[in-house]
Amino acid sequence: MLRAIGLTKQVKNPEAGLETTLTILSDVTLDIPAGQTAAIIGASGAGKSTLLALLAGLDEPSAGQVWLNGVELTALDEDGRAAARAQHVGFVFQSFHLVPSLTAVENVMLPLELAGKSNVRATAHEVLEKVGLAAREGHYPRQLSGGEQQRVAIARAFVTRPAILFADEPTGNLDAATGERIIQLLFDLNRATNTTLVLVTHDQNIAQRCERVIRLEAGKVVSQ
């Protein structure tokens, strides 16, 4: 499902002058099979979110390759990567990234409409039912709690039945009890749809619920 070979990410270090580069990730190689749940963990600054962005094709590596569901993302331009993401990928972020001018159901409809699907409202309603928000589908994000907004974001991520779901600290803006419900929902939907789940978290309890834990230290994989 997901393969990374020799991924390296370097950026210019503004504090040390333009000639100096900062290595955020160094020679990361991993394989994640279809249907697996994998957690990426490590200290702040270890490169977790950078690795997730590279695996999802949201950023380009300085060196290395990423293969997603048989497609080499690193061989594509930005339009090609965007098309691959639209076809194969769902995202859940720490910040919910809902469109404030759209209702809950309209936010969930959005990726279906962009993909040119039919019966988008009925499909979005069905997925909102699965996350327990059918009664709130006409509400705008500002009218929803943080936990409800994250459930809308999860519904939006799963509505296209993606082959792989990337989640970056999905409980980071939530209290402990709400975060636990959100994580349980993610794992329940993962099992129901057999979606591959790659999760960045600093929470060891969440990580241990995954089938696999990938630990980063200073931009390098030290265990997986």
Taking only the tens of pLDDT, the chain with its 224 residues reads 899 999 999 888 766 555 678 888 999 999 999 989 999 999 888 889 899 999 998 889 999 999 998 889 999 999 999 888 888 888 888 888 899 999 999 999 998 888 888 889 999 999 999 888 999 999 999 999 998 998 899 999 988 888 899 999 888 888 888 888 888 888 888 888 888 999 999 888 889 999 999 999 988 998 88
Query: The CATH number of the domain where 56 resides is what?
Result: 3.40.50.300
In contact, 218 and 8? CB cutoff 8 Å: no
Write phi, then psi, for 8 (nearest 5 degrees): -135, 140
Residue with tokens 């393969």: 3
The domain total for the chain is 1
Q: Is residue 217 in some structural domain?
A: yes
Q: Is residue 185 in some structural domain?
A: yes
Q: Is residue 55 in some structural domain?
A: yes
Q: pTM for the complete prediction?
A: 0.86
Q: Is residue 69 in some structural domain?
A: no
Query: What is the C-alpha to C-alpha distance for residues 213 and 144, in angstroms, rounded to an integer?
Result: 33
| DSSP character string of 41-108 | E-STTSSHHHHHHHHTTSS--SEEEEEETTEEGGGS-HHHHHHHHHHHEEEEESS----TTS-HHHHH
Look at residues 92, 205, 199 and name the one whose alpha carbon lies nearest to residue 151.
92
Q: Is residue 103 in some structural domain?
A: yes
Q: Is residue 122 in some structural domain?
A: yes
Q: Is residue 14 in some structural domain?
A: no
In contact, 158 and 133? CB cutoff 8 Å: no
Q: Is residue 29 in some structural domain?
A: no
Range of the domain at 197: 34-60+77-223
